[in-house]
Structure 1
Amino acid sequence: METIRYFKPDELKAMTANRKQEFSALFQKLKKKKPKNLDDVVHRLHREAFEQFDCLDCANCCSTISPIVTDKDAERLAKSQKMKPADFIGRYLYVDEDHDYVFQQTPCPFLMADNYCCVYENRPRACREYPHTDRNRFYQILNLTQKNCEVCPIVFSITSELTKMEW
């Protein structure tokens, strides 16, 4: 795997747009074939990526996109902020077009200047699992992965590596 470096979100968007046809062709092929070794390959690339890249140097995800916040997440976050869940929801969340709770603002209200999360131990499940490249049945989230190429240098790098392989 090539060295992963930080890119600003607008740079990643442009880089992803430049490779849109290539990435789309890859994801269509993976959706169709559902290779048995896909999870193993992506999980290996995930481990390699996280050995060399520190998310604290980036925080694009926290700066530009809002995670889905489940009721359970909202309760946990409210408790950590010593708030009632309804008050937490009213202050920080709204229901998006998919009928999911998401944060009212980006960057995330809990992202600190040093890119640390002040609610890290209580962060939403979507944040815990991001960028989802260690997930099983990876072929099920290829659309999300393609979108995440625009945000996360790790996802862009993994996707780039996948294009070099014979499927």
Structure 2
Amino acid sequence: MTKHSADFIDIDHYRDLAQQKHKEHAKFLAQVKKKPPKHLDEITAEIHYEVFREIDCTKCANCCKTLGPDFKEADIERIAKYLRMSLQGFEAKYLRVDEDGDKVFQAMPCPFLGTDDLCTIYESRPKACRDFPHTDRKKIYQINHLTLKNTEYCPAAYEFVEKLKTKLK
């Protein structure tokens, strides 16, 4: 079975690889943080776009099945408006406050994930969803902990770290 093709991404394969390389990735990302190379933002942007030319998120949607976004007030207002719901109605139907005090989905997978693994509120989706897996962020070394965590859930994040390792060695 291939790790990804035009129609399928083997998320279990990627999770296993990410777990096997966890220490290696953590050490590498710590080195990048300690001494960021010149033009790191340009390098990571190039790798981000390369990875997303190879991996089609709609063939995976693991983030939508397992990770819930942290909803900011702007997200709640935008989505409630899109769904023609009151803010209170939207929050009561879809959200809860977690142990960190963040507003998150009551349950996963995302209630807006269609049976075709496409987002039914794509135009209005939360900022956290828009930005995931955060591999196009400037000064990416500032979120090493998040990048490392995301490799276990997102094949694109895993491939990003692998390509970054290759490029910087």
CA RMSD of aligned residues (A): 1.6
Q: Any idea what SS the aligned residue of 2:63 has?
A: helix
Q: Would you say the 8 A contact 1:4–1:154 is kept in 2?
A: no
Instruction: Please list every run of 5 or more consecutive structure 1 residues that lacks an aligned counterpart in the other structure.
Output: none
1:141 corresponds to which residue?
Answer: 143
Instruction: Please list every run of 5 or more consecutive structure 2 residues that lacks an aligned counterpart in the other structure.
Output: none
TM-score where L is the length of structure 1: 0.91
CA distance in 1 between counterparts of 2:15 and 2:57 reads 18
Q: Deviations over 1:121-146 (max 9, x none)?
A: 11000111111111111111111000
Sequence identity of aligned pairs in percent? 42
Q: Would you say the 8 A contact 2:3–2:10 is kept in 1?
A: no
1:93 corresponds to which residue?
Answer: 95
Match of 1:77 among 74, 79, 87: 79
1:115 corresponds to which residue?
Answer: 117
Match of 1:33 among 26, 35, 51: 35
Q: Deviations over 1:44-99 (max 9, x none)?
A: 01111111221111101101100111011011111111111111111111112222
Q: Which segment is superposed worse, 34-43 or 109-118?
A: 34-43
Amino acid at match of 1:164: T
Amino acid at match of 1:82: R
2:64 corresponds to which residue?
Answer: 62
Q: Would you say the 8 A contact 1:4–1:53 is kept in 2?
A: no
Give runs of ≥4 in structure 1 deviating > 3 Å.
none
